[in-house]
Structure formats: structure tokens, C-alpha cells
Amino acid sequence: MNSERFWKIVKIYNNLMREAIDGPNCTDLSICHGDCCSIKIDVPKILAEEYIRRGHATTDDFIRSNIFSLHLRFNDKTGKCFLFDKKINGCSVHGSGIKPPQCWIYPTNFSIPKNEEIRCKKVSGWKIVDKEKAEKAELLLKEYITFCENEANDEILKIELVKNL
């Protein structure tokens, strides 16, 4: 997959998920404290470079991983991903169109049994409002994962080559 296809996938996926899911207002402090961002997320290098280019991150915000190429730095003081922004009580790349695809999945995933409203860690009211868009997004996520795994394998090979010089 080339980088053009990668960006197409990430952007279409972000749009589909934004429209497919509805739920409580996570930026309302009385509802949410960003508990779902207390996880470690992997991203491909190409996405990390774009976060740096757009000013969301610096090189110190990424740690080498063997799942995808890089981990987003976990802020031990806040117990959250470094992209969680206390001021907006939410993810600083939420509306960027290039939020890490995995982050959209919680708590609904791509389908909900019987399509009932479900709960996250704090509150109920999450639902899928457009099943078709969620299904399309699920297919795109598979392509995204394949890209990320291939990129990570290439990165490991490059590191090995440098080590053996």
C-alpha cells in the first residue's frame, strides 16, 4: 500500500466513525475524565511524523514498538496518553481527521448486539447510528492494520541492518 492509499484510509475512516457513532458529550467534565485514554496506543511511523509536522507532538512523544512502529508516549503523571488535553477534556487530535483509528472503537466497536445503547466506563448512551458506515469503517481498519504491521516489519529490518553494519 502506498502512502496516498494510507491517508485516504485514515481520513475516510475518521469521517465514517464520526458519523456512525453517537454518545454523551465526552468534553463535559461532569460526565467524563478521559478514562478511556488511560491506555497505550500504537501508531505507524507515517502517522507519528504527521502529528509532529502539525505540531501535536515532538519526536520525544514516541517510543519504539514491535506491534506497530511506535507507541504514543504514556504520561505517567496524568496516567493518560500524551495526546489527552486537560484543557479540552479530550483528545487533541479528535477533530483532526487523523485520530488513531483504534481510538474510535471504544466503547461501541463496529456493532452492538441488538443495537441497544451501551455504557463506557462512566456513562451509558453510546450507540451506532449508521450501521453501514460502521461496517465500511471496519473493513478500512483491517487495511490500516495490515499497512501498520508491514511498516513495523520494515522498520525492524532496517534497525537490524544498521546494527549489523
Binding site for ligand SF4 (CB under 6 A): 37, 39, 41, 72, 81, 83-84, 91, 93, 100, 103
Cα–Cα nearest to 116, from 106, 128, 105: 128
Q: Write the CB contacts of 20 (distance below 8 Å, at least 6 apart in sequence).
A: 128, 129, 130, 131, 133, 134, 137
Q: What is the DSSP string of 34-96?
A: -GGGSS--EE-HHHHHHHHHTTS--GGGEEE-SSSSEEEPEETTTTEETTEETTTTEETTTTS
Closer residue to ligand SF4 in complex, CB, 35/132: 35
For residue 124, the minimal CB distance to ligand SF4 (Å) is 20
Q: 506491534: which residue's cell?
A: 67
For residue 83, the minimal CB distance to ligand SF4 (Å) is 4
Closer residue to ligand SF4 in complex, CB, 9/32: 32
Closer residue to ligand SF4 in complex, CB, 72/148: 72
Please, are residues 54 and 61 in contact by the beta-carbon 8 Å criterion? no
Q: Is 100 exposed, middle or buried (CB count within 10 Å of its CB: 0-12, 13-18, 19+)?
A: buried
For residue 126, the minimal CB distance to ligand SF4 (Å) is 15
For residue 73, the minimal CB distance to ligand SF4 (Å) is 10
For residue 22, the minimal CB distance to ligand SF4 (Å) is 17
Closer residue to ligand SF4 in complex, CB, 91/134: 91
Please, are residues 147 and 44 in contact by the beta-carbon 8 Å criterion? yes
Closer residue to ligand SF4 in complex, CB, 95/165: 95
